């Protein structure tokens, strides 16, 4: 079945770095744009970043610009999120999502990032 599996979350001190990974299976990863969405504790969903199917186009929410970098390796069906200069307000569950028809029809289970 179509699936996204995130990993790489954990506890990090402010100013530290983490790299999240998201492995896709069950569909042609290189045919889809991909995004990251996060949810801070007790808060709503927040769009974080977009990457086009070939990695040539990217965009980020203003609060992470210059600190986060999204990338992908289509040969490995894997999406990445490099997070640098982490702040306490980056604490959240991070979801990898497949962008299809301008919506998110496949979600990973999420990986928790705690900055403290």
Q: Which residues bind other proteins (CB under 8 A)?
A: 35, 37, 44-47, 50, 52, 57-59, 61-62, 95, 101-105, 107-110
**CA-to-CA separations, 30 to 34, 52, 88, 100, 112, in angstroms, rounded:** 10, 9, 33, 12, 26
What is the spatial distance between Cα 95 and Cα 111, in angstroms, rounded to a whole number?
7
Closest distance to other proteins from the beta carbon of 20 (Å): 15
CB of 92 to other proteins, least distance (A): 13
Q: How far is the CB of 16 from other proteins (least distance, A)?
A: 25
Rank residues 41 and 75 by Cβ distance to other proteins and give the closer one.
41
Of 84 and 99, nearer to other proteins (C-beta) is 99
CA 13 to chain centroid: 20
Question: Whose Cβ is closer to other proteins: residue 25's or residue 59's?
Answer: 59
Minimum CB separation of residue 114 from other proteins in Å reads: 17
Looking at beta carbons only, is 9 or 12 nearer to other proteins?
Answer: 9
What whole-number distance in Å separates Cα of residue 101 and Cα of residue 67? 28
Please say whether the beta carbons of 59 and 50 come within 8 A: yes
DSSP 8-state class, residue 43? S
């Amino acid at each position: 079945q179509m699936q996204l599996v995130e990993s790489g979350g954990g506890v990090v001190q402010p100013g530290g770095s983490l790299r999240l990974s998201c492995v896709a299976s069950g569909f042609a990863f290189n045919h889809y744009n991909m995004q990251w969405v996060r949810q801070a504790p007790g808060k709503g969903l927040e769009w974080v970043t977009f990457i086009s199917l070939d990695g040539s186009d990217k965009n980020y929410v203003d609060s992470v610009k210059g600190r986060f970098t999204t990338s992908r390796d289509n040969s490995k069906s894997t999406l990445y999120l490099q997070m640098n200069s982490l702040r306490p307000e980056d604490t959240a569950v991070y979801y990898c999502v497949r962008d299809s028809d301008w919506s998110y029809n496949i979600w990973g289970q999420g990986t928790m990032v705690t900055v403290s």
